A = this chain, B = another copy of it.
Amino acid sequence: MRNIKITISYDGTNYSGTQKQKNALTIQEVLEKSLEKITNEKIKTIFAGRTDAGVHAKAQVVNFKTNSSIPVEKFPPALNSVLPKDIVVIGSEEVALEFHSRYDAKSKVYKYLILNTSFCLPFYRRYAYWVPEKLDLEKMEKAAIYFLGKKDFTYFCKKGSSVKNKICEIYNLKIKKNKDLIEIEIKANRFLYGMVRMIVGTLIEVGKNKIKPEEVKEILKGEKKVQNIAPPQGLYLIKVNY
């Protein structure tokens, strides 16, 4: 028995997220079917981060146990030959049997892309959130500071999460403008369900001057509510650190 860790990149547009579920096509299901094809085993995969319908990954980490004799470096080409073109295996390594891609993750990095143009350029429809109002980046940067550090993110967690511990530590929250695109990168030890999209949605409200940067403090305490959850197509899981 070996434990294989693979890194995958996917375009989430056509999937109902990562996690297997009935009556919906998910990244996990497609990946496990492809693993079955190449190994002739029923394989259970563990994803480092669960991503929602429409969310993308540049480098999601997945591990699985197998008795197959496929050399570890052959997993990417073998899987890519049977996977659809919107899921690509970009790396593989053999890891200790006890390695767990989710529990062992020390930090994760997500990126969110906002297209800030007066018209929605067609190439970005599936890959960014179009916001036509000019966003005030300085104010967004001021607001971003309130999210940094170890904090209770209870009010930045969507309903339906069974996770009890809502304490997360945000190490980094960078906002960059690159021509028409605003890129928000968030690094934290862990993320709650919907957390990045609720943080980004709130930053956008600040950028639109609908709320003040300081109001983030009140939202974190539950004195005010998150008004805007950014849609999934702008979100990318960029990196999982161990």
What residues make up the interface of A, taking CB atoms closer than 8 Å to B? Answer: 9-11, 56, 58, 76, 80, 85-90, 118-123, 125, 127
A120 CB contacts on chain B under 8 angstroms: 85, 88
Q: What are 26 of the A-B contact pairs (CB < 8 Å)?
A: A9-B119, A9-B121, A9-B122, A10-B122, A11-B122, A11-B123, A11-B125, A56-B122, A56-B123, A58-B121, A76-B119, A80-B119, A85-B120, A85-B122, A85-B125, A86-B122, A86-B125, A87-B122, A88-B119, A88-B120, A88-B121, A88-B122, A89-B119, A90-B118, A90-B119, A90-B121
What is the CA–CA distance of A10 and B123 in the complex, to the nearest angstrom? 7
What is the CA–CA distance of A134 and B112 in the complex, to the nearest angstrom? 28
A76 CB contacts on chain B under 8 angstroms: 119
What is the CA–CA distance of A9 and B115 in the complex, to the nearest angstrom? 14
A121 CB contacts on chain B under 8 angstroms: 9, 58, 88, 90
What is the CA–CA distance of A127 and B11 in the complex, to the nearest angstrom? 13
Give the Cβ gap from A168 to chain B, nearest Cβ, in Å. Answer: 27
Indicate the member of A58, A76, A122 with the most B CB atoms within 10 Å.
A122
What is the CA–CA distance of A121 and B80 in the complex, to the nearest angstrom? 12
Give the Cβ gap from A125 to chain B, nearest Cβ, in Å. Answer: 6
A118 CB contacts on chain B under 8 angstroms: 90
What is the CA–CA distance of A80 and B10 in the complex, to the nearest angstrom? 30
Known contacts A9-B119, A85-B120; can you find 12 more A-B pairs with CB under 8 A? Answer: A10-B122, A11-B123, A11-B125, A56-B123, A58-B121, A85-B122, A85-B125, A86-B125, A88-B120, A88-B121, A89-B119, A90-B119
Give the Cβ gap from A198 to chain B, nearest Cβ, in Å. Answer: 23
A122 CB contacts on chain B under 8 angstroms: 9-11, 56, 85-88
A86 CB contacts on chain B under 8 angstroms: 122, 125
Give the Cβ gap from A67 to chain B, nearest Cβ, in Å. Answer: 26
Contact status A127-B119, CB under 8 Å: no
A88 CB contacts on chain B under 8 angstroms: 119-122
* Smallest CB gap from A59: residue in B: B121
A10 CB contacts on chain B under 8 angstroms: 122
What is the CA–CA distance of A149 and B9 in the complex, to the nearest angstrom? 42
What is the CA–CA distance of A16 and B127 in the complex, to the nearest angstrom? 23
